[in-house]
Chain A
């Protein structure tokens, strides 16, 4: 696209171009979220890291494991295993869980990366605090 064409576009068209073309450019770098989600995750991400994020997101959506299971076609027992890090999470299930919770996949990548990475310890602490509050609420 030429700068002139870009300039002539409406702001909405520019944003659409940026979002669709931008993400497509990432896919062009062989980082397709669906196919290579394990590669997109930080190397040292543990099962439990992403499990914490799934649980936090599920609570934020006000859903039980059973409800999320019904929505995603994954059993509640299996979701519980993912949340507690007992079982590795296949990318196809993460995609379904993201859809079921209506959150972008990037949310899982960002937060799981923040937990296992050094860049955003605060986020991890925030989620842990959130988890602890929710656990207390459930216990109470």
Chain B
């Protein structure tokens, strides 16, 4: 999915962008158009981590056209994997960040993975 000009493409690292079920449901809930989703996916594929990204307890948030994209980056043997966890309108950012902090996502991660 990365462009030929992407730093990752130049380094020979394939980048995969995927969405979770919650992210797909957010697309419906907030009526996010395909162009925004495409733009978000391309941005993440070209540069999975940017200094401008907001980071909250291990989760990255990238604003794209008044929509916030919450994601994590991991790595398989074959590729870097960007997993979009949620979308929400930029106007709801502060409330969502507070919620993430309150939920202490690390505890959730431990519970989900059994760590």
Binary interface profile of B, 58-84, with partner A (CB < 8 Å = 1, else 0)? 111000000000101111110011010
Find chain A residues with CB under 8 A from B85 CB.
18-19, 22-23
Find chain A residues with CB under 8 A from B10 CB.
118
Question: What is the minimal beta-carbon distance from B97 to any residue of chain A, in angstroms?
Answer: 10
Q: Are A12 and B99 in contact (CB under 8 A)?
A: yes
Contacting chain B: which of A28-36, A72-80, A82-90, A127-135?
A28-36
Q: Are B49 and A33 in contact (CB under 8 A)?
A: no
Given known A-B contacts A104-B57, A107-B58, A15 and B100 have beta carbons under 8 A apart: yes
A-B contact count (CB 8 A): 141
Find chain B residues with CB under 8 A from A22 CB.
20, 22-23, 72, 83, 85-86
Report the Cα distance A114→B47, complex, angstroms: 11
Q: Are A39 and B77 in contact (CB under 8 A)?
A: yes
Q: Are A34 and B108 in contact (CB under 8 A)?
A: no
Q: Are B73 and A16 in contact (CB under 8 A)?
A: no
Binary interface profile of A, 91-117, with partner B (CB < 8 Å = 1, else 0)? 000010000000111110110011001
Tell yes or no: B29 within 8 A of A by CB.
Answer: yes
Q: Report which of A14, A117, A120 forms a contact with B51, defined as CB distance below 8 A.
A: A120
Question: What is the minimal beta-carbon distance from A4 to any residue of chain B, in angstroms?
Answer: 10
Q: What total of chain B residues lie within 8 Å of the partner, measured CB to CB?
A: 50
Q: Are A16 and B103 in contact (CB under 8 A)?
A: yes
Which B residue sits closest to A5, measured CB to CB? B25
Binary interface profile of B, 17-53, with partner A (CB < 8 Å = 1, else 0)? 0101111011011000000000000000001111100
Question: What is the minimal beta-carbon distance from A25 to any residue of chain B, in angstroms?
Answer: 5
Tell yes or no: A40 within 8 A of B by CB.
Answer: yes
Which A residue sits closest to B7, measured CB to CB? A118
Q: Report which of A12, A23, A43 forms a contact with B108, defined as CB distance below 8 A.
A: A23
Find chain B residues with CB under 8 A from A42 CB.
13, 75, 80
Q: Hey, which bits of chain A sit against chain B, CB under 8 A?
A: 1, 3, 6-7, 11-12, 14-27, 29-34, 39-43, 95, 103-107, 109-110, 113-114, 117-120, 122-123
Q: Hey, which bits of chain B sit against chain A, CB under 8 A?
A: 7-8, 10-11, 13, 18, 20-23, 25-26, 28-29, 47-51, 55, 57-60, 70, 72-77, 80-81, 83, 85-86, 95-96, 99-100, 103, 105-106, 108-109, 111-115
